[in-house]
């Protein structure tokens, strides 16, 4: 019996109730089994930079933390992403799951999207190629990919209700391109709809998006699932293409859906087709016959450690270098900055996980050079919130919301934060409970400490019996915890060195706005000032080289909130300038999920953009700085001189951040480097830019011939003219022939990453087809490659394209979507 025959027979053998049961989750991470028919239980797990498993966003079974999406985007290496996909399949299997909720392929429309760190690039072709590598690697090992978020989720502001208003041409030419490649080329087994509305309709019930485009135009035969709590209806979602409502238990399906079928509102045949899609995914992943009891393991694999370290180095982008790097004989180094001793390995939100370990830049450089050659100073802080209170705590849980009665259980906590959903203890539901958390804190230093409280729920804090902060009576919805929490409530606590205080935190659940969970974070920190900068300056003066580790962290680059701008937060600009004035041999290591303004570039010797490269962060950074590895990255996103130079900086709030529930993509296809070309505003660092420790020469361009189908090749030679092995990314851009619609000045259409030894030459062939010439005609809904002469530009980035030629398409070619 073929797999298709089997799933068809199973679907027909089910009762209506059994069929409907498979169209909603049974809990947060799994579907129900159908025991009568011996159908197993499908389990999913969050990605995309690891496999968290079935636990909370905080804590849980440990997992390998791989580089984040923008870091992988900077590798420009689909083969590497294929390897990472294969490795992630191992991670998913260790969590007893069958499907990974990844990759994230939304496009970098603007510089401030809080989730840019999780996405690959501002360019659809680069994003598509990387997504295909990731998905094919993952699914080659029997684990399903879930490409997300389909579609129009390019901002985190009011994302659960906002309508992204985008014309069809822009969707087809930019935002849908990675999804189309994932379906047609990688054969992805699942797609996740986004939270937002698209042109006024929620994507989870968008018939044009899910039925016409995804299933009709592209031939998708897998599962469309909602983002968590991202479905909003019974009949509209099922009729318009949503197979699976997540998470469980059912909200708009279950008995409601059975009633809709019995009343004739939803045809039984539609239910059957949705069930067939679910069973097909189960068959592809082996879940159909998986009856193992659920268990998770933390497998710290040496081969995954090595791959993460390699990928971290290959993602690092060398932005500036006056010859200081690599540090082959650095002498004594000062490792300075808020990201020096703290390993910033990932962004915030649903992609975060409990990593096996975290290597900071200080750790990596100390391991490589020895502690006697390393000086450390913090210099300043850069967190958006107060640092989480780390101290032993007791949490007494109550089945009521007002701490009445007796606690049913008491749990130990190691820090004052938590994220709770579902059943969190026997008889305790995260949607209806309260807790009292108690512990002590002893101040290591005298000063005015700052306490911070964030809660999705209600909370109040007492210190030594006196209430000092509350978000209970005065709780107001803010932007924390995926826009379900309040803004941080602050209180100052003057403490002497060695003073011990008693802390009590009362917590209660409350009805949620969109996403059903309760969350708490209590921070306590001692703010930094001029004394810390002075200490950093002294360290820089005492060293031969100063390495300043700055940027952001997961409180800034996070799901659920956009950035307020792209300047470095806190006192980091002052720190960089003070250190550079004290030591001209200063290297700045940036860790961010996107661009930052750099008014200090002329004051420092070298700049490395290291992103959030996973659990091996400090080792990968040390490898690059010390020359043990090549900085193999190239920018996947343009870095503007100023935030004001970006496409979404405008006086029209409907263009960004949105107005009255709508955000209008007025710029159309002109985002990223296309925007800079259109406006004539030079970026600080262009798309595709990155330096090497060696030098390359590109030459001997040959173009064509072009055949009747519009296929052609461009070939060139690449030579490593330096004395080190290294890599170069060869990028091909097309300039348009005349056509009826405005087109970008140039568009990336092909690229290749070349690794060469000193003196080695390689011939590179870049292949294109008719689609590379095409624009999307919204009247006929066809791709049109207009006849005419196109420019072919090849080089190292969007502003360095020394090899140029032309190719003529003799006749217009029209293709179906």
DSSP string, 231-297: ---SHHHHHTT--BB-SSSPSSSTHHHHHHHHTTSS-HHHHHHHHHHHHHHHHHHTGGG--PPP---
**Residue 775 to residue 170: CA distance in whole angstroms:** 10
Q: What is the pTM of this model?
A: 0.96
- In this structure, the answer to whether residues 634 and 585 fall within a common structural domain is yes
In a domain, 631, yes or no: yes
**Residue 122 to residue 113: CA distance in whole angstroms:** 12
**Residue 375 to residue 362: CA distance in whole angstroms:** 9
In a domain, 294, yes or no: no
Domain boundary among 525, 547, 571: 525
- Give 312's contacts (C-beta < 8 A, 6+ positions apart): 67, 71, 610, 613, 614, 616, 617, 619, 620, 621, 623
User: Six-digit token pair at 124?
Assistant: 């659809």
- In this structure, the answer to whether residues 223 and 309 fall within a common structural domain is no
- In this structure, the answer to whether residues 486 and 568 fall within a common structural domain is no
CATH code of residue 627: 3.40.50.1700
**Residue 509 to residue 475: CA distance in whole angstroms:** 12
- In this structure, the answer to whether residues 715 and 584 fall within a common structural domain is no
Parts of the chain with a pLDDT under 50: none
**Residue 621 to residue 316: CA distance in whole angstroms:** 8
In a domain, 299, yes or no: no
Residue 228 DSSP class:
T
- In this structure, the answer to whether residues 315 and 282 fall within a common structural domain is no
- In this structure, the answer to whether residues 49 and 80 fall within a common structural domain is yes
- In this structure, the answer to whether residues 351 and 436 fall within a common structural domain is no
Dump strand ranges (E) for 97-244: 99-101, 144-150, 163-165, 190-193, 197-198, 201-202, 223-225
Helix (H) or strand (E) holding 12: helix 3-13
CATH code of residue 279: 3.20.20.300
- In this structure, the answer to whether residues 556 and 606 fall within a common structural domain is yes
CATH code of residue 801: 2.60.40.10
- In this structure, the answer to whether residues 176 and 223 fall within a common structural domain is yes
Distance (Å) of CA 492 to CA 331, 450, 524, 525, 526: 42, 5, 9, 10, 10
Q: Give the length of the chain.
A: 817
Do 11 and 276 form a contact (C-beta atoms < 8 A)? yes
In this structure, is the dihedral angle defined by the CA atoms of residues 190, 196, 199 and 202, taken in order, positive or negative? positive
- In this structure, the answer to whether residues 266 and 398 fall within a common structural domain is no
- In this structure, the answer to whether residues 338 and 448 fall within a common structural domain is no
In this structure, is the dihedral angle defined by the CA atoms of residues 603, 606, 608 and 609, taken in order, positive or negative? positive
User: Six-digit token pair at 219?
Assistant: 């031939």
Do 346 and 68 form a contact (C-beta atoms < 8 A)? yes
Query: Which residues does the annotation mark as catalytic?
Result: 227
Helix (H) or strand (E) holding 79: helix 78-94
CATH code of residue 443: 2.60.120.260
Domain boundary among 262, 289, 316: 289
Q: What is the pLDDT of residues 123-164, one digit of tens each?
A: 999 999 999 999 999 999 999 999 999 999 999 999 999 999
Exposure of 65 by Cβ count < 10 A (0-12 exposed, 13-18 middle, 19+ buried)?
A: buried
In a domain, 499, yes or no: yes
- In this structure, the answer to whether residues 617 and 711 fall within a common structural domain is no
**Of the candidates 562, 419, 547, the residue with the CA atom closest to the CA atom of residue 481:** 419
pLDDT on residue 55: 78
Domain of 718 in residue numbering reads as 696-815
In a domain, 582, yes or no: yes
Exposure of 329 by Cβ count < 10 A (0-12 exposed, 13-18 middle, 19+ buried)?
A: exposed
**Residue 297 to residue 299: CA distance in whole angstroms:** 6
Do 177 and 125 form a contact (C-beta atoms < 8 A)? yes
Domain boundary among 619, 648, 679: 679
State how many domains the chain has.
4
In a domain, 447, yes or no: yes
Number of Cβ atoms within 10 Å of the Cβ of 405: 10
In a domain, 752, yes or no: yes
DSSP string, 613-650: --TTHHHHHHHHHTTSS------SS-B-SSGGGSTT--
In a domain, 99, yes or no: yes
Q: What residues form DSSP beta bridges with 735? A: 791
């Amino acid at each position: 019996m073929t797999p298709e025959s089997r799933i068809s027979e199973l679907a027909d053998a089910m009762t209506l109730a059994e069929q409907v049961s498979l169209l909603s989750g049974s809990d947060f991470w799994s579907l129900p089994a159908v025991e009568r028919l011996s159908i197993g239980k499908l389990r999913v797990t969050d990605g995309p930079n690891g496999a968290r498993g079935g636990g909370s966003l905080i804590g849980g079974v440990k997992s390998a933390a791989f580089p984040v999406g923008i870091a992988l985007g900077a590798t420009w290496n689909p083969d590497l992403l294929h390897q990472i996909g294969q490795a992630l399949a191992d991670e998913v299997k260790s969590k007893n799951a069958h499907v990974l909720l990844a990759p994230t392929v939304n496009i970098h429309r603007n510089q401030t999207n809080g989730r840019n760190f999780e996405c690959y690039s501002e360019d659809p072709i680069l994003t598509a190629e990387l997504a295909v590598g990731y998905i094919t690697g993952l699914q080659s090992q029997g684990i399903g990919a879930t490409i997300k978020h389909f579609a129009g989720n390019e901002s985190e502001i009011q994302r659960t209700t906002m309508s992204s208003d985008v014309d069809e041409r822009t969707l087809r030419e930019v935002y849908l391109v990675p999804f189309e490649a994932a379906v047609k080329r990688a054969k992805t087994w699942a797609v996740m709809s986004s939270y937002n509305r698209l042109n006024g309709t929620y994507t989870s019930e968008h018939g044009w998006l899910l039925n016409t485009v995804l299933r009709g135009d592209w031939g998708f035969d897998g599962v469309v699932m909602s983002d968590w709590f991202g479905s909003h209806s019974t009949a509209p979602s099922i009729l318009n293409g949503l197979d699976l409502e997540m998470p469980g238990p059912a909200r708009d399906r279950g008995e409601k859906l059975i009633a809709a079928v019995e009343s004739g509102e939803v045809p039984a045949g539609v239910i059957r087709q949705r069930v067939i899609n679910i069973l097909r995914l189960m068959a592809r992943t082996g879940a159909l016959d998986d009856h193992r009891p659920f268990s998770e393991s933390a497998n710290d694999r040496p081969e995954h450690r090595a791959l993460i370290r390699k990928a971290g180095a290959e993602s690092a982008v060398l932005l500036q270098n006056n010859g200081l790097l690599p540090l082959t004989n650095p002498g004594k180094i000062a490792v300075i900055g808020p990201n020096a001793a703290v390993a910033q390995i990932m962004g915030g939100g649903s992609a975060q996980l409990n990593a096996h370990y975290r290597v900071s830049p200080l750790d990596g450089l100390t391991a490589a050079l020895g502690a006697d050659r390393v000086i450390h100073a913090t210099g300043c802080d850069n967190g958006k919130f107060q640092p989480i209170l780390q101290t032993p705590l007791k949490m007494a849980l109550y089945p009521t919301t007002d701490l009445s009665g007796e606690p049913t259980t008491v749990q130990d906590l190691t820090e004052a934060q938590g994220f709770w959903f579902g059943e969190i203890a026997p008889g305790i539901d995260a949607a209806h409970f309260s807790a009292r958390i108690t512990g002590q804190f002893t101040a290591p230093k005298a000063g005015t400490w700052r306490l911070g409280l964030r809660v999705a729920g209600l909370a109040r804090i007492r210190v030594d019996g006196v209430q000092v902060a509350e978000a209970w009576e005065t709780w107001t919805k803010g932007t924390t915890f995926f826009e379900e929490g309040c803004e941080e409530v602050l209180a100052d606590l003057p403490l002497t060195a060695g003073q011990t205080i008693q802390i009590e935190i009362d917590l209660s659940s409350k009805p949620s706005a969109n996403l059903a969970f309760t969350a708490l974070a209590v921070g306590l920190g001692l703010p930094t000032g001029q004394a810390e900068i002075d200490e950093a300056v002294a360290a820089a003066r005492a060293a031969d080289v100063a390495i300043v580790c700055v940027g952001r962290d997961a409180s800034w680059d996070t799901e659920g909130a956009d950035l307020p701008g792209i300047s470095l937060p806190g006192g980091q600009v002052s720190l960089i300038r003070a250190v550079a004035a004290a030591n001209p041999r200063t290297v700045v290591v940036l860790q961010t999920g996107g661009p930052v303004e750099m008014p200090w570039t002329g004051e420092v010797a070298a700049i490395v953009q290291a992103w959030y490269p996973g659990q091996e962060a400090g080792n990968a950074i040390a490898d690059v700085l010390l020359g043990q590895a090549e900085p193999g990255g190239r920018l996947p996103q343009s870095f503007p001189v100023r935030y004001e130079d970006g496409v979404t900086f405008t006086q029209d709030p409907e263009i960004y951040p949105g107005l009255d529930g709508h955000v209008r993509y007025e710029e159309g296809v002109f985002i990223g480097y296309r925007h800079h070309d259109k406006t004539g505003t030079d970026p600080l660092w262009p798309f595709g830019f990155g330096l090497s420790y060696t030098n390359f020469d590109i030459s001997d361009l040959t173009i064509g011939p072009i055949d009747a189908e519009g296929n052609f090749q461009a070939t060139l030679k690449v030579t490593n003219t330096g004395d080190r092995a290294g890599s170069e990314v060869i990028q091909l851009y097309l300039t348009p022939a005349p056509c009826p619609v405005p087109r970008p000045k140039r568009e990336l259409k092909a690229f290749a990453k070349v690794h060469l030894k000193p003196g080695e030459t390689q011939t590179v062939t870049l292949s294109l087809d008719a689609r590379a010439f095409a624009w999307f005609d919204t009247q006929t809904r066809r791709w049109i490659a207009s006849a005419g002469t196109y420019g072919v530009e090849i080089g190292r980035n969007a502003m360095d394209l020394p090899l140029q030629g032309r190719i003529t398409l003799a006749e217009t070619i029209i293709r179906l979507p």
